Amino acid sequence: MKISAPTTMPLLEVLALLSPGSSKTSLRSWVKEGRVGVGGIVVSRVDIEVPQGEVVELGTKVRVLPHGLKIIYQDAYLIVVDKPAGLLTVKTAFEKEETVHAILKQKLEKRVTVLHRLDRETSGALVFAFDERTALNFKALFEKHAIEREYIAIVEGKVEVPSGTWDCYLAEDAQYHVYPTYNEEEGKRAITHFEVTGGRKGYTRLKLRLETGRKNQIRVHCQQAGHSVAGDAKYGATTNPIKRVALHARFLGFTHPVTGKKITCVSSVPIEFDQLVREK
């Protein structure tokens, strides 16, 4: 659920417009639970003013699983979880630690199919299917670029251009390192749309929308632009201010491959992202 503030007003008044039947106690509890975002940033205080036109979002009440894994949405066909940084999506030939995939299989006691992945140090919304038909239909959505995916990144340096698009081909070498190329026979095309949404000396906050979903796409595109994601030493970062890669999968939107229902899932941006670029 989301709403744009019709005029500059207190957050509680905006929430009351969003959910007219809810009590002020409920509205305050949503903020306390970390379910309310203003302009894509989770807020922890109710006594703030929301500027006219700013978007206020209410996230779904989540269930918490081991390792801080949270369930954002679940039905008979699929599940969307909020993955914390530091947790693998699925085991690999070289990494067999605890994974999101393993946790879901164990706790839900059913088959779970991986539909896409987030890097270990990337947090945010991640979707899995419960049956083969849903998995195949969902993967078809990926192939048609019919899934909305929005990320938030804190990158090094000041990005001078307010918005734009990064477009190149990405290839992978024998050491599993992804690199950009303009040779379409060498790699797969990768398109990322970016918008500057804030920053202070040394860092810029970017909102990024994926048109394609290649491995390490955002990380490589940011490095190629001369603004590596903070904390991402693999792709050129020289700083690590929040002790992790500063990349978060904030939004996932799609038409349900079975029910046809429009699904929108929002993962609250970690508060340390906002703290890093907040003007002091």
Q: Is the dihedral of CA 172, 254, 82, 199 positive or negative?
A: positive
Asked whether the beta carbons of 18 and 9 are under 8 A apart, the reply is no
How many other CB atoms sit within 10 Å of the CB of residue 139? 15
Residue in the structure block whose two tokens are 């699983």: 65
- What is 69-86 written as a DSSP string? -EEEEE-SSEEEEEEPTT
Pairing verdict, β 113-114 and 123-129? antiparallel
Q: Which residues are catalytic?
A: 119
Q: CA–CA separation, 102 vs 116, rounded Å?
A: 15
